[in-house]
Amino acid sequence: MTSVIPAPVGHGRGLRRQWRTAFLFMGAALLVALGGVTVTYLGTASLYRTAAHHLDDSISQTAQLDAAVNEHEIQSHKLWQGTPINLAAYLGAQKQITRLFHRSLLDLHGPGEHALVVKASRGWRYQLTRRGLWGSGARPRPGGVTAAMQAAYGSAQDQVYFTFGQLSDTAISDGAHDLSLADHFQVIGIGLLVGVFALVLAVMLYFAHRLTTEIVRPVEMLRVATQQLKGGSLDHRIDITTSQRSNEIDDLADAFNEMASALHASHIELIRRAGFDGLTGLPNRNSFNERLQRHFGAAQRRSETVSVLFIDVDDFKFVNDSIGHAAGDALLVTVAGLLSTCIRPDDFVARLGGDEFAIIISDSTAEATAADAVAQRVLAAFKKPVLLEGRVISVAVSIGVSVMRDDTPDSGSLVSEADFAMYTAKRAGKGRRAVFDAADAVAASTNSRQMPTIDT
């Protein structure tokens, strides 16, 4: 300390020189502290941006792959069972999905992400190759395809979607790790700042009160804020009263609040993208599966009946081809709006992908009366023509209804049954509803001519 206080105690100008030296030392210490805070902020902000960008890129590419594979799976089902499709478009979709997988392998470098992309890519291609649906040799199955074979194929494809879910979870986990690293870096910077001011406090008692009220307490608020951010409270903000503020701390608090607000907004947007369809605003397939799984478990514990309505827009490809893809998108938005008006407050409607939608309906009794009523309202809603790109067109939907039974093994089976019933409705003339019946499915799997119950 003798280097800081050059004059001996009792010298007439020694105290003045000591204060001058203390002020100079304080100024130097403040410059060092400000530099440390700036470096900490820039490093932390860079880590946050990197984490947010990687998470956004991972979720976005996973969503693209999920949607593309789902749409291609629909066409694969049709081709496999002999339904005429545009084979060139089908093969083009395979190439596009292959390119998406290749891009993901190049872009996603987080721990475990590369392996999951490889697993999903190989699983998707293997299921197509196994069934003769890959490449230029893709063709319908000789002798036809049973419902059980279609269900088995759908179940196998679900493993690919499950891998996509693992990929999203891995990206979120990696993002959390990066945020934790940024918080650690922030704490180190704050520790350096507190150490500098602690040294200043040891040099001059006069500055103790000033440092406590104007520096240490705000910095402590920053430390608490980073802990809150680390704990997941992304809406936490720093509020420093005017009497406690200095310019540097003010700027740092504002910058932290802006950074926290941007991170919070990015987090909310990523959650929205992960759970909702970007075109229609409805919940997506992931949200639908999670909701159905919760309903399914609750129904097994209580006297509750769970039903699924699987809805497909009839002749949707014709709208895309004749009017344009913009009109097709507008039609999907219109369909989503109409479906939302047909359900009850506790029902759940989602877009599964392409022109496929689904509704989860829960009855408090053993009779699935609500499912029948909702299905009838949906059919009635589509009896009126809609205005699309300046043209009035008629739109119809085919509905497959499945009701949970005591022997229904899981929620995926319930969806597969509704999907089967929907294709039955289409074969019966479209614009109808078909109720799945287990006996009908068994008959169909043995090439019987029996069909599920059809209602117009």
Res 247 pLDDT > 60: no
Higher pLDDT, 328 or 268: 328
Pick from 357, 287, 355: nearest CA to 78: 355
DSSP class per residue in 66-123: HHHHHHHHHHHHHHHTT----HHHHHHHHHHHHHHHHHHHHH--STTHHHHHHHHHHH
Instruction: Give 141: exposed, middle or buried? Use CB within 10 Å, 0-12, 13-18, 19+.
Output: middle
CATH 3.40.50.720 fits 285-455, yes or no: no
**Whether this model's pTM surpasses 0.75:** no
Across the chain, what does the average pLDDT equal? 80
Pick from 324, 316, 318, 389: nearest CA to 357: 316
- For the ranges 186-195, 357-366, 371-380, the lowest mean pLDDT is seen at 186-195
pLDDT in tens, 29-69: 778 877 876 877 787 777 778 777 877 888 888 898 889 88
pLDDT reported for residue 449:
43
- For the ranges 225-234, 252-261, 267-276, 436-445, the lowest mean pLDDT is seen at 436-445
Structure letter (DSSP) for residue 205:
T
Q: Name the amino acid, one letter, at 420.
A: F
pLDDT reported for residue 153:
82
Check: CB of residue 198 under 8 Å from CB of residue 220. no
pLDDT reported for residue 32:
80
- List the structure tokens of 63: 């969503």
Average pLDDT over residues 261-287: 81
Res 76 pLDDT > 80: yes
What is the three-state SS of 355-368? CEEEEEEEECCCCC
pLDDT reported for residue 450:
47
Pick from 257, 203, 209, 205: nearest CA to 235: 257
pLDDT reported for residue 363:
81
Higher pLDDT, 89 or 208: 89
Res 265 pLDDT > 90: no
Which run of H or of E encompasses 277?
none
Residue ranges per domain, the chain?
1-275, 285-455
Average pLDDT over residues 352-362: 94
Structure letter (DSSP) for residue 434:
E
pLDDT reported for residue 213:
66
pLDDT reported for residue 4:
47
Average pLDDT over residues 380-404: 90
CA gap 19, 369 in Å, rounded: 86
DSSP class per residue in 7-19: SPTT-TTHHHHHH
CA gap 160, 111 in Å, rounded: 19
pLDDT reported for residue 368:
63
Higher pLDDT, 368 or 359: 359
Higher pLDDT, 8 or 275: 275
pLDDT in tens, 97-147: 999 989 988 888 777 888 888 888 888 888 888 888 898 878 887 777 787
Check: CB of residue 4 under 8 Å from CB of residue 201. no
pLDDT reported for residue 138:
84
Average pLDDT over residues 358-383: 86
Higher pLDDT, 376 or 15: 376
pLDDT in tens, 153-179: 888 888 888 888 888 888 788 777 777
**Contact residues for 435 (Cβ-Cβ < 8 A; gap 6+):** 401, 402, 403, 421, 452, 453, 455
Average pLDDT over residues 302-317: 88
How many CA atoms does the CB half-sphere of 169 hold within 13 Å? 8
pLDDT reported for residue 367:
62
Torsion of CA 20, 26, 27, 31, to 10 degrees: 160
CA gap 435, 424 in Å, rounded: 9
- For the ranges 25-34, 68-77, 326-335, the lowest mean pLDDT is seen at 25-34
Average pLDDT over residues 216-236: 74
Q: Is 391 left (phi over 0), alpha (psi -120 to 50) or beta?
A: beta
- List the structure tokens of 325: 């893809």
Higher pLDDT, 335 or 148: 335
Residue with tokens 């100079």: 24
CA gap 102, 55 in Å, rounded: 18
- For the ranges 172-176, 200-204, 346-350, the lowest mean pLDDT is seen at 200-204
Res 192 pLDDT > 80: no
Question: C-alpha angle 444/446/449, rounded to 5°?
Answer: 50
pLDDT reported for residue 7:
46
CA gap 348, 99 in Å, rounded: 34
Average pLDDT over residues 404-433: 90
Residue 137: how many CB atoms within 10 A of its CB? 8
Share of residues in the chain with pLDDT > 70 (%): 79
Question: C-alpha angle 158/160/164, rounded to 5°?
Answer: 110
